[in-house]
Amino acid sequence: MVAKPRGPCYNRGVIDVAPSPDWTIPQDWSHFTTTDHRVWDHLFDRQTRLLPGRVAPEFLDGLKRLDLTRPGVPDFARLNEQLMALTGWQVVAVPGLVPDAVFFEHLANRRFPAGNFIRRPDQLDYLQEPDVFHDVFGHVPLLAHPAFADYMQAYGRGGLRALEYNAINRLSRLYWYTVEFGL
């Protein structure tokens, strides 16, 4: 399902922002409020307490190498400087879920699309659509490691090939049940 394009904090009714043809939008980090940064910090603290013994050491290393332990919603410009130097990847802001072909095109070009909004304080436990916390905290740390970074690019290229054979839905489901939710 493709989300309606909206601004950085669309849950609060911020004016819509039209995405570019590749669905990217400016992050405009300055629009994140004090409450948004507190939500990030709360989620970050809660999740990092659960990590020991549950995640690959490469994930924890990625958090440190990308300096994601700093408080507040990460500024993509700063994050991208570090990620680009490590593996040639960058994070691009998108308004929400994007079409499969767009998603795979980004991966094939070493760009990870991340939602440009954060959940409200009353949505801490569950949000139907991936927000900036889910995308950046949950996926980006592993992109700091060359083997995983290369795998994700290859997966994106595979998705584009699957598009030629009208099989992109199959690769999308495989991604959803492996990378997104785990086996």
What is the tens place of the pLDDT at every residue in 103-138?
999 999 999 999 999 999 999 998 888 999 999 999
Q: Is residue 132 within 8 Å of residue 51, measured between CB atoms?
A: no
Residue ranges covered by each domain of the chain: 10-180
Structure-token match 């801490």, residue found: 124
CB-based contact 17:25 (threshold 8 Å): yes
DSSP for 85-136, written as a single string: HHHS-EEEEESS---HHHHHHHHHTTEEEEES----GGGSS--SS--HIIII
Q: In the numeric block, which tokens belong to residue 103?
A: 């998603």
Tokens of 61: 């290393």
Tokens of 100: 């499969």
Crossing angle of helices 146-164/100-108, nearest 10°? 140
The architecture of the domain spanning 10-180 is Orthogonal Bundle (1.10)
> CB of 118 within 8 A of CB of 73?
yes
Q: Which two tokens stand for residue 55?
A: 């995640």
pLDDT (tens digit per residue) in 2-58: 333 333 434 443 435 667 889 999 999 999 999 999 999 999 999 999 999 999 999
**Tell me: the pLDDT tens digits for 65-101?**
999 988 999 999 999 999 999 999 999 999 999 999 9
pLDDT > 90: percent of the chain: 80
Global pTM reads: 0.88
